[in-house]
Amino acid sequence: MSEEIEILTDRSQQVWTKGESGEFSCDRRSTAGAVTQRACAFCGSRVVLYPIADALHIVHGPIGCAVYNWDIRGSLSSGPQLHRNSFSTDLAEKEVVFGGEKKLEASLLELIAYYRPKAAFVYSTCIVGVIGDDVEAVCRTVTKKSGIEVIPVDSPGFKGTKKSGYKAACEAAYRLVGTGDTSKISKYSINLLGEFNIAGEAWMIREYFEKIGIEVVSTITGDGRVDDLRRCHGASLNLVQCSGSMTHLANLLKKEHGIPLRRVSFFGFEDTARAIYETASFFGDPEIEERAAALVREEIAKYSPVIRKYRKQLRGKKAALYVGGAFKAFSLVLALRALGMQTVLAGTQTGSQEDYDQLREICDPGTVIVDDSNPLELAKFVLEKEVDLFIGGVKERPIAFKLGVAFCDHNHERKIPLAGFEGMMRFADEVARSVLSPIWKFVPRKTMAIEKSLAASKEEA
């Protein structure tokens, strides 16, 4: 590790370079003063549940909480758009002193009467944890008065990891499971868990499975519907893509309804093909397996020439990635390798020990692996490793642009579908156009490098 990169003592074991000895630590609370890139529990719960498009979502807290992460998502709906409204009880000084339960009840009754949603989710934020509103009791009261299922999402506080918010969301969603009719569900059926239909990706994935004869009962929660969630316990298999956010729900479905789960990814040719093959193999039907193989051959043949073209242009370029969940990191390392690029920095916000063990296996020697990093660390690694591309989310974008590095948004805010076979082509196109742009030769660090190179050439001459 370079001496130029300073790491807080308490975080020393959360930064590791492949090829060096030493322990790697993760899955822990954020270090005080580290300025973590993680978000609050409410943010995590909202990310999971908001794509349920025909439900009412109301934030019980100050207006600032409702504004946070509203409408920066690329999650699309094929029908209702109710989820795009950011309703809030707008708790202020009066409610902090006297309580906000009456305001919450009145707000819910008014909104339910006007919109008639299929269900309603009430998100408790930090201030509710402080003043002690009994949100559960209010939800029971409104459910009886309105006839609409009103579900509390217990997500106040910052517990050092978004997993607390994910767990709260999974448990809230599970209250609807088991209340719908499953009689017409095929035995060849799946649920897609942790797929949020960013830029329409769930529609692409659903089409793959429908082509090979597998029914998608529900997408939890991208382009989600309350009635699909009610009957998802009738599926034969759960495919878990964003493992950090949805493994808890998958485990509940396995424990209570006996539905097995498979961890998959639909980013990149390799992982998308593997997910389709493994799902087809699970059902053991020769016709489905044959159709799966034909689909993969057809899709790869369609897009491979484009990938080969970009590979020639991008060979040898360096990439850094810092994402929320580890499964996305695995796929990105493989996708970048397919483009001839080397991943020199890989990190996640919420990876487990098992996740990082797998990440360390697939990364190249010298790759820096970080858990729960912060802007200062990320900036220093990007500079030291002379990165050409930074892949992350909305919080990492300013780091890249301030350093004069190309950036690719691979988080919930993006508007371009990057999943599946077609998504890999789009990913390659975005990476190439970003990395190869002539603008980067004018940034200060590149200008200095060019000047040094020219000076060295003159001295040798």
Domain definitions of the chain by residue range: 9-25+315-415, 41-161, 189-297
In Å, what is the CA distance from 277 to each residue of 242, 335, 338?
A: 19, 18, 20
For residue 307, pLDDT over 50 is answered with yes
CATH number for the 189-297 domain, one of 3.50.50.60, 3.40.50.1980, 3.40.50.620, 3.30.70.520?
3.40.50.1980
pLDDT band, residue 458 (cuts 50/70/90): low
What's the pLDDT at 160? 47
For residue 451, pLDDT over 60 is answered with no
User: CA-to-CA distance for 90 and 64, rounded, in angstroms?
Assistant: 8
User: CA-to-CA distance for 303 and 313, rounded, in angstroms?
Assistant: 16
- Tell me how long the chain is: 461
For residue 327, pLDDT over 70 is answered with yes
For residue 461, pLDDT over 90 is answered with no
Would you give the end-to-end CA distance of the chain in angstroms? 35
Query: What value does the mean pLDDT of the chain take?
Result: 90
Residue 144, class by beta-carbon neighbours within 10 Å (0-12 exposed, 13-18 middle, 19+ buried)? exposed
Q: Are 62 and 189 within 8 A, CB to CB?
A: no
For residue 89, pLDDT over 60 is answered with yes
3-state secondary structure (DSSP) of residue 217: strand
Percent of the chain with pLDDT over 90: 68
279 prior amide bond cis, ω within 30: no
What's the pLDDT at 381? 92
Question: pLDDT tens digits, residue range 330-352?
Answer: 999 999 999 999 999 999 987 88
Q: Locate 337 and state its tokens.
A: 């390798």
What's the pLDDT at 72? 60
Please report, to the nearest 10 degrees, the dihedral formed by the alpha carbons of residues 254, 257, 260, 266 taken in order: -80
For residue 34, pLDDT over 50 is answered with yes
3-state secondary structure (DSSP) of residue 96: helix
Fold of 9-25+315-415: Rossmann fold (3.40.50)
CATH topology identical between 9-25+315-415 and 41-161:
yes
Q: Locate 170 and state its tokens.
A: 């999974």
What's the pLDDT at 44? 86
Q: Locate 185 and state its tokens.
A: 């569900």
What's the pLDDT at 343? 96
Architecture of domain 41-161: 3-Layer(aba) Sandwich (3.40)
Closest CA to 291 of 191, 211, 237: 211
